[in-house]
Amino acid sequence: MIRVLSIKRLLFGFVFLVFVTATGYAQGSFVYVNNNNIGGPNSVTAFSVAANGVLTPIAGSPFLTGGTGNNLGLFAANRSTICTMGNRLYVANDGSNNVTGFDINPATGFLTIVPGSPFATGGIANGSGMSLDCTDDAKFLIAAYANSSGPSSNITVFSIAANGTLAPVPGSPFPAINQPRAIKVSPSSGFLFVAEGDNLIEAFSISANGALTPVPGSPFPGGATLPFSGVAGLEINCAGTLLFVPLSGFPGGVSVFNISPAGALTPISGSPFPTDGRNALAAVLSPNEQFLFVSNQMSGITVHNVAGNGSLSLVPGSPFSAGASPQQLSINKSGSLLYVNSGTSGTLSVLSIAGNGVLTTVPGSPFPAGSGTLPSVSAFPPKSCDFDICLQDESNGNLLRVNSTTGAYEFTDCKGVTIGGTGRITRRGCLITLEVNGPDRRVLARIDTCMKSGTASVQLFSTGRNFSVFDRNIANNTCACPGG
């Protein structure tokens, strides 16, 4: 009897292991292309991704959105976005001026349309197209669009219900200046940045109910200095302190801005930085924020080393080939694969990312991805700025949140002092160490994931203040300030 029970337990464990392994493999292995089909039914092409980056269409793909596309949207940099809380994909239908939501099956990648889709934006997207992004808590989806045949340029903020349905928040749509080309929500800081068609960047604060209020001093100059150039895409680091802005036109480039605690933008020294490419359109940071990948429509993908202050330097070998007319970009959660759509051939290129940032085309790339000429691309699950470790002092309440992959951190004493940034992560067995050695601060944290304990020290040179965190059990933390 004992032997029979042992065999049964062994078999159950084996089946459970196979199930978990298969499920774990499926998760994190999907990529979606919003085809933006002109004048006809819009659709999303879905792929599963093998370990080496090879794409295989998912059964049932392409999935109809219920709306229509429009390839006149020449500049919109993000026509799809994934809100990972609830595993949902939202795509823009430029031609019918609405948004479609899909639930993602995390085991198979299959898409199921959200009830009520598509949802009207209340505006006209036929000019620069429509750009989407969602807040990091997945409470709000934001759509920016322009009307080339009239004065309307607007931003609609939708609240996202538990089942994924969308409803415009009070006050929506909110006015924008001139043909938004891209939008980006700053992680955790409550700001929305909008790249405008006249080389300006608008900044808005996002209230608790989703309403938008212009940041004092907005709009800010985008940094383009030559005729026929302007702001295109947007990317923000996890700490919400740096904004990266590709510049369209010739010779292109990337502007880099410091983001103040109030949302104001100030160009860093040396900005804009050259891309060694032409007509830069979109940018994405690697999950560890060591590299910035920039699509250049006429020359390929440039890869930039990112210094601690945000300054950029080209990785040797840039630009790298990525198919015809590379446009929008997405990166997988581990930072090993870069997805690049083509603006002319209806294909999706997949590039393997080496530890030094060098790109290599995977076997079989580019892959047929639909009939649209100006598609967008989203990886699932996307890279995340979530903090997966939280230290909470047992006596004084000090909090340190850490992303153990990217090194992003946020410290608060719950009494008015809050700082954030990105440090260096090292791992040795169960021990994770975060180190920050900046001109104004020093942060050192050690977390033992086996013992579920951690300590940290924070020094602020400008004020001469020192803080400490001692946590004997990181598993029981609320990760919230008392009364917060």
Residue 24 reports pLDDT greater than 70: no
| Pair of tokens at residue 250 | 């010739």
Percentage of residues in the chain having pLDDT higher than 90: 48
**Phi/psi of residue 81, each to 5°?**
-150, 155
pLDDT for 410 equals: 83
Q: Domains in the chain, ordered, with CATH? A: 31-380 (2.130.10.10), 389-476 (no CATH)
Average pLDDT of the segment spanning 296-324: 91
339, 325 Cβ separation under 8 angstroms: no
pLDDT in tens, 206-249: 999 999 999 999 999 988 876 667 888 899 998 788 999 999 87
Candidate from 19-33, 102-116, 138-152, 160-174 with smallest mean pLDDT: 19-33
User: Angle CA(175)–CA(179)–CA(185) in degrees, nearest 5?
Assistant: 70
How many angstroms separate the CA atoms of 132 and 130, rounded?
Answer: 7
Instruction: For the chain, give the mean pLDDT.
Output: 84
Given pLDDT bands bounded at 50, 70 and 90, which one contains residue 13?
very low
pLDDT for 75 equals: 58
Q: Regarding predicted confidence, which is higher, 120 or 419?
A: 120
pLDDT in tens, 390-445: 899 988 888 998 888 778 788 888 887 878 777 889 989 889 999 999 888 999 99
What does 139-197 look like in DSSP terms, one character per residue?
SEEEEEEE-TTSS-EEEEEEEE-TTS-EEEPTTPSEE-SS---EEEEPTTT-EEEEEET
How many angstroms separate the CA atoms of 256 and 273, rounded?
Answer: 8
pLDDT for 455 equals: 96
Q: Regarding predicted confidence, which is higher, 62 or 20?
A: 62
Residue 2 reports pLDDT greater than 50: no
How many angstroms separate the CA atoms of 366 and 321, rounded?
Answer: 11
Residue 28 reports pLDDT greater than 70: no
Place of tokens 């080939």: 321
pLDDT in tens, 182-206: 899 998 668 999 998 778 999 999 9
Q: Which residues pair with 82 in a beta bridge?
A: 89
**Phi/psi of residue 114, each to 5°?**
-70, 135
Place of tokens 């850490």: 402
Average pLDDT of the segment spanning 137-155: 76
Q: Is 11 helix (H, G, I), strand (E, B) or coil?
A: helix
253: alpha, beta or left, given left = phi > 0 and alpha = psi -120 to 50? left
